[in-house]
Amino acid sequence: MKWLDLAGFLALCLFAGYVGSLLTNQSVKTWYPTLQKPAGTPPDWVFPVVWTTLYILMAVAAWLVKVEAGWYYAKQPLILFFAQLAMNVAWSAIFFNSRQPGFAFGWIVLLWLAILATMIVFYAIKPLAGILLVPYIAWVTYASFPNFGIWRMNRA
């Protein structure tokens, strides 16, 4: 049963990534290349590699919390986890579909806070689960700088 739960978390997180990629696909080809980007903006090939890795780490972290605490006691931390996952997908819609980098920057700040809260509650249950989210918050911290720069450099 434990491995089925892991498969479920992996499927959910990778599906979130898939939905995010669907939301970005068109704009990545048309709108995004036309934007001025700040120094330090990663090349396009980095995003799928990084995000796939991060979604796998997120899934394992959530699974560890579920295994450690059981569904009943992990319910609140997992609701927080699912909320931040939904916020993650929503950022793609805001930035790429709505083409609103300013609003997306505000959203990424809220996402960062949700990730931090998730890390804290996960760490309290299973320290490794909280630690597995460190690369995620690090990437979102880093990604907030190009998001901010794109907003500032492309305001019309």
pLDDT single digits (tens) 115-149: 999 999 999 999 999 999 999 999 999 999 999 99
User: pTM value?
Assistant: 0.95
Domains, the chain, with CATH or none: 2-153 (1.20.1260.100)
Q: Which residue has the tokens 């804290």?
A: 120
**Euclidean distance between CA atoms 83 and 22, whole angstroms:** 19
**Residue 1: is its pLDDT beyond 80?**
no
The 10s digit of each residue's pLDDT in 87-116 is 999 999 999 999 999 999 999 999 999 999
Name the average pLDDT for the chain: 97
Burial class for 144, CB neighbours closer than 10 Å (0-12, 13-18, 19+): middle
Residue 53 pLDDT > 80:
yes
What integer pLDDT is reported at residue 2 of this predicted model? Answer: 87
